[in-house]
Amino acid sequence: MFREMIRKNKQLSREECVKLLKTEKRGVLSVIGDGGYPYGMPMNHYYNDSDGNIYFHCGKIGHRLDSLKENDKVSFCVYDKGYANDGEWALNVKSVIVFGRVEIIDDINVITDIATDLSLKFTSDMEYIQNEIEQYAKKTLILKLIPENICGKLVKES
């Protein structure tokens, strides 16, 4: 169902893909939007090692949520800042694309747990995290991306 990568020598291992998903703080989640047009939005995310799923947070209304209720199929792309080899201008960039389906979670306990884990990617200030969760958890949903395909690639931009 999912295409195989043509340039296998550029393909990242599963472990490299997971590492990128865990370390990068943001990516672009794309849904099937209004009129069948793709709708991509930058989002922060949390990769959960224990279940292999990717989690996002969102409000309870909006284009993203309406689109997901119509069609739960998504893609999610992350990429690193890249690096240049000595004496070269071109960047070498690692990217990962995840295809899968999203479940919408409204359980306040799950929202609290995932929001905490997601926040820890950005700060270790537990007092700040707890205050944010107390203030916003009831206005928040969690999106659980269950991967069906994960592929990554190293590309030299030249």
Q: If 0-12 CB within 10 Å is exposed, 13-18 middle and 19+ buried, where does residue 135 land?
A: exposed
- Is the Cα torsion angle 121, 123, 126, 130 positive or negative in sign? negative
Q: 42 with 27: CB under 8 angstroms? A: yes
pLDDT of residue 158: 77
Across the chain, what does the average pLDDT equal?
96
Separation CA 136–CA 17 (nearest Å):
31
pLDDT band of 8, cuts 50, 70, 90: confident
DSSP strand E in 13-107: where?
A: 26-32, 38-44, 46-47, 54-59, 73-79, 83-84, 91-105
DSSP strand E in 1-47: where?
A: 26-32, 38-44, 46-47
Q: What is the mean pLDDT of residues 115-132?
A: 96
pLDDT of residue 9: 87
pLDDT of residue 80: 96
pLDDT band of 1, cuts 50, 70, 90: confident
Q: What is the mean pLDDT of residues 89-93?
A: 94
Q: 47 with 18: CB under 8 angstroms? A: yes
Domain ranges, ordered by start, for the chain: 8-156
CATH dotted code for 8-156: 2.30.110.10
